[in-house]
């Protein structure tokens, strides 16, 4: 009975091997197809984190708006550096109007002030919605 069970498991496993060999389109081709279907721009970069080597890239040098949840992580990182004494909230960040992406609803409400402190930037993204 046990041998029959083992044989059934092995046959089932071997039957799935052809599925693992099925190759999907290359990541870059998938990105280009998605971009075409969405009628927009899509960017991506695939890196080997061990070596830092770029494996695949598409529009890697272009700027894209990121989801709003990124700001939570960014402000958290800034505040952690302040707590560790490695950063000051009042240190200014210099940026220009052309540094903003096309869709920046919070930043668009306030005229671009060529330099804002970290406290101001974090507060703006948390409170001015």
Residue predicted with more confidence, 50 or 4: 50
What's the whole-number average pLDDT of the chain? 72
Dist CA 28 CA 17 (whole Å): 25
Residue 116's DSSP bridge partners are 93
Torsion of CA 108, 112, 115, 117, to 10 degrees: -30
Dist CA 69 CA 75 (whole Å): 10
Residue predicted with more confidence, 24 or 86: 86
Q: Tell me, what DSSP letter sits at residue 40?
A: S
With cut-offs at 50, 70 and 90, classify the pLDDT of residue 51: very high
Q: 32-37 long-range CB contacts below 8 Å, 24 or more apart?
A: 32/58
């Amino acid at each position: 009975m046990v041998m029959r069970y083992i044989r059934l498991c092995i046959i089932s496993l071997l039957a799935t091997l052809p599925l693992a060999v099925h190759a999907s389109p290359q990541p870059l081709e998938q990105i280009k197809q998605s971009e075409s279907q969405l009628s927009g721009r899509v960017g991506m970069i695939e890196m080997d984190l061990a070596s830092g080597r770029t494996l695949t890239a598409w529009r890697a040098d272009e700027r894209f708006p990121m989801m709003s949840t990124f700001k939570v992580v960014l402000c958290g990182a800034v505040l952690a550096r302040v707590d560790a004494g490695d950063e000051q909230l009042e240190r200014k960040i210099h940026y220009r109007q052309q540094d903003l992406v096309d869709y920046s609803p919070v930043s668009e409400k306030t005229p671009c002030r060529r330099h804002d402190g970290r406290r101001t930037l974090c507060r703006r993204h948390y409170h001015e919605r």
